[in-house]
Copies of this chain bind each other. A is one copy, B any other.
């Protein structure tokens, strides 16, 4: 990656730390810097050597960086853009790993100087674990990574960010932030809310009888609440519409059950089974489920 000599990661949690490790592993010769506002995270990051240098000062961390990657909760992005704006070198590329993209694009356009180029990134990976101690250098290997661009996104920067994630092992796909946020409301944010709602709707004692099905379908509810609250806060309209569509489907099945319409129940369950089986085949063919 001839264009990238120094990469700075702002936020050293599971994703940020893993970016640092993966860069050391896959991009030899590239210097990595990292910043965290938490002293305890900084000392863990130093001990685990997730980046070459850990900074206490955010401006110092991004100095001379060719690529800056924000890996904090999304609602910190606006502040972070403002804090680093003056310290970025001309031509620097800024991206992030946030799960929504419309608001980050909006904040970047508002807060970053004109000679700095923003591209949105969303690597579809992670786990319900949080913290630098769960970092892995292979977290991005064979993961899908969505890049988002708008009309005036710098084409060269988009190409470099694409090369960057590809070098970490990602499959890259480019779309608009609007399309991204609509799609991920349905396939990620609403399922997350649903998992939380399922758990909240269940009795603590009765849940002890849960089998593997419940454990799997509620797994994502164990994700960090503060990170997810930011995701939900920055994709309100799409999520609202997604919850409405889900509720309509639940009501449809409930009506079929209440009226004892076995044919209708079986038809609805079979439609879901067929649709998911097609999806599983697609994922298997792309080796995404291995």
Chain A residues with a Cβ under 8 A of chain B: 75, 124-125, 144, 146, 173, 182-184, 186-188, 190-204, 206-211, 213-226, 228-229, 232-233, 236, 239-240, 242-254, 257-258, 260, 262, 265-266, 268-273, 275-280, 282-283, 289
* CA distance in complex: A254, B228 (Å): 14
Q: Are B206 and A186 in contact (CB under 8 A)?
A: yes
* CA distance in complex: A192, B276 (Å): 13
With both beta carbons as reference points, the residue of chain B lying nearest to A236 in the complex is identified as B257
Which residues from chain B contact A196 at a C-beta distance below 8 Å?
A: 249, 253, 268-269, 271-273
Q: Are A209 and B233 in contact (CB under 8 A)?
A: no
Not counting A75-B262, A215-B289, A233-B260, a sample of 14 additional A-B residue pairs whose C-beta atoms are within 8 angstroms of each other reads A124-B211, A187-B207, A187-B211, A188-B210, A188-B213, A197-B249, A198-B249, A199-B275, A200-B268, A216-B216, A218-B276, A233-B257, A243-B251, A243-B253
- Chain B proximity of A25: nearest CB distance (Å): 22
Q: A213-B188, A229-B266 are in contact. Are A207 and B254 (CB under 8 A)?
A: no
Which residues from chain B contact A213 at a C-beta distance below 8 Å?
A: 188, 191-192, 219-220
- Chain B proximity of A12: nearest CB distance (Å): 22
- Chain B proximity of A256: nearest CB distance (Å): 8
Q: Are B236 and A260 in contact (CB under 8 A)?
A: yes
Q: A195-B272, A219-B217 are in contact. Are A250 and B249 (CB under 8 A)?
A: no
* CA distance in complex: A12, B213 (Å): 22
Q: Are B208 and A265 in contact (CB under 8 A)?
A: no
* CA distance in complex: A283, B246 (Å): 30
